Amino acid sequence: MNQDVKKENPLQFKFRAKFYPEDVAEELIQDITLRLFYLQVKNSILCDEIYCPPETSVLLASYAVQARHGDFNKSNHSSGFLSNDRLLPQRVIDQHKMSKDEWEKSIMTWWQEHRGMLREDAMMEYLKIAQDLEMYGVNYFEIRNKKGTELWLGVDALGLNIYEKDDKLTPKIGFPWSEIRNISFNDRKFIIKRILALCMGNHELYMRRRKPDTIDVQQMKAQAREEKNAKQQEREKLQMALAARERAEKKQQEYEDRLRSMQEEMERSQSSLVEAQNMIRRLEEQLKQLQAAKDELEKRQQELQAMLTRLEEAKNMEAAERTKLEEEISAKQREVQRIQDEVAAKDSETKRLQEEVEEARRKQSEAAAALLAASTTPQHHHVAEDEHDEEMLNGEGNGDVSRDLDIDEHIKDPVEDRRTLAERNERLHDQLK
């Protein structure tokens, strides 16, 4: 018999199941059977051999992604991760005005809901949804009735159905296998033999499903349950180990954040100490200038007083000499007034600086207290995943436990700086009284 086979070398064959199960959860026992049947049904849906509504297509796509890639991980599965995967029928994509990114976002939203699901379980959930589709497991054949009307004959696991030519979803009439006793034909065409073979096979399976399982099937199911339980236990152990690791990493991150915060606090405290020291140096310089101005003022006042005394004593002085002396006294008075103004300005500046120093002293005291508290707070930034660290965290350790903190050697001793600064503040405070 001649067949239309492409002249390819080598030829590519696809393994396909001839008979569809009524209940995939009950009849697909071994994982390899589940996987092969899942791939066949998924391909039929993507090729539109089995009609699937858009909403259901997105849900099925999320299970397909879980079966292929495992749990969703935000860091690894970013936008565009599914761009190369064939997940939706082209008909669904063409029906809706949505971009590829929008489709991907919808699929990922459902994908996140399947976290923790085994790949085999994701395939099974896919098939559970697919087996409820109207065209699932139906083999269609073109037929004509006695009137010559073109129809579809559908053969599936539950019986025979007759469909109108333009509607493969809703059967016009159906005949369950339980009501069919005989199938006859009066033609020798190859397609008739295919229909007959499908009918006989599905009828036999229909009747077998309604009988108790054979010993072989019972053994296969028991072995499959044992393998599934073993996988589940192994997965639970893995999840517990991953959860413990995540907790340890989270604790370590918290310790590192606290250490970083403490180091930043130490840097701020050191900066406050330096600022306070600079402020005190400025105040000391200002005090020196103020004292020098006061000394200069006192000297000029003494000179002015001496001139006034001379003027008082020189009543008999000639007019020219007296005028000259009066002019000198006036100039000296102006100079004294200028120096008095300078002293007043410097005194005002000194008071302002004193207030700033008091504020700096207050901030320095707060910073020193915070630094002292931080330096005496125990910090453990190394977290090891062993029993000793777990006992330490739970407060069950018997011995002393310590951790070394990395501190910059160039940072000055804050206690020594506080003593020096306090002594200088006290000395300046006494000078300003």
Q: What is the CATH number of the domain that holds 205?
A: 2.30.29.30
Using CA atoms, how far apart are residues 76 and 79, in angstroms rounded to an integer?
10
Residue 82: inside a domain: yes
Q: What is the pLDDT of residue 385?
A: 44
Q: For residue 298, what pLDDT is reported?
A: 85
Q: What does the mean pLDDT of the chain come to?
A: 80
Alpha-carbon distance of 346 to 429, in angstroms, equals 17
Q: Give the whole-number percent of the chain exceeding pLDDT 70.
A: 79
Count of domains in the chain?
3
Beta carbons of 174 and 160 less than 8 angstroms apart: yes
**CB of 51 closer than 8 Å to CB of 168:** yes
- Tens-place pLDDT, residues 225-252: 898 888 888 888 988 998 899 999 999 9
Banded pLDDT at 393 (limits 50, 70, 90):
very low
CB 50 within 8 A of CB 156: no
For residue 22, give the 3-state DSSP assignment: coil
Q: Output the domain CATH number for residue 57.
A: 1.20.80.10
Q: Say whether both 152 and 165 belong to one domain.
A: yes
> Does residue 407 register a pLDDT over 70?
no
Question: Is there a single domain that holds both residue 65 and residue 157?
Answer: no
Residue 225: its pLDDT value, please? 87
Residue 298 lies in a domain: no
Q: Are residues 40 and 128 in the same domain?
A: yes
Same domain, 124 and 223: no
Q: For the whole prediction, is pTM greater than 0.85?
A: no
Q: Give the pLDDT confidence score for residue 137 in this predicted structure.
A: 92
Quick check: is 191 in a domain?
A: yes
Residue, of 375 and 201, whose pLDDT is higher: 201
| Per-residue pLDDT at 395 exceeds 60 | no
Of 211, 241, 269, the domain-final residue: 211
Residue 232 sits in the same domain as residue 148: no
Task: Identify the band that residue 405 occupies on the pLDDT scale cut at 50, 70 and 90.
Answer: very low
CA distances to 156, 183, 291 from 145, rounded to whole Å, are 20, 16, 125
**Where is the domain boundary, 211, 237, 263?**
211
28 and 129 both lie in a single domain: yes
Beta bridge partners of 174: 161
Buried b (16+ CB within 10 A) or exposed e, 93-130: eeeeeeeeeebbebbbebbeebeebbebbbbbbbbeeb
pLDDT tier, 185 (very low <50, low <70, confident <90, very high otherwise): low
Alpha helices in 314-412 (DSSP H): 319-376, 387-394
* Residues of the chain above pLDDT 90, percent: 30
Residue 412 has pLDDT above 80, yes or no: no
- ω into 53 cis (within 30 of 0): no
Quick one: pLDDT at residue 234?
87
Residue 201 sits in the same domain as residue 232:
no
Q: Domain limits at 156?
A: 138-211
Q: Tell me the per-residue pLDDT of 284-318, one tens digit each, with 9 for 90 and over.
A: 887 888 888 888 888 888 887 887 777 776 665 66
pLDDT at 390: 42
The verdict on 187 and 224 lying in the same domain is: no
Do the domain assignments include residue 411? no
Q: Is the pLDDT of residue 157 over 50?
A: yes
List, for residues 68-110, the tens digit of each pLDDT value.
Answer: 998 888 888 888 888 888 999 999 999 888 888 899 999 999 9
Amino acid at 281: R
Phi/psi for 155 (5° steps) reads -115, 120
For residue 304, being part of any structural domain is answered with: no
Examine the domain organization and report whether 74 and 164 are in the same domain.
no
DSSP state at residue 175: E
The answer to whether residue 392 sits within a structural domain is no
Whether residues 160 and 207 fall in one domain: yes
127 and 29 both lie in a single domain: yes
Q: Is residue 155 part of a domain?
A: yes
Beta strands per DSSP E along 53-191: 139-144, 150-155, 159-164, 173-176
Residue 389 lies in a domain: no
Are 65 and 28 in the same domain?
A: yes
In whole angstroms, give the CA distance from residue 347 to residue 360. Answer: 19
The answer to whether 184 touches 164, Cβ cutoff 8 Å, is: no
Give the end of a domain, one of 244, 268, 291: 291
Indicate whether 184 pLDDT > 70.
no
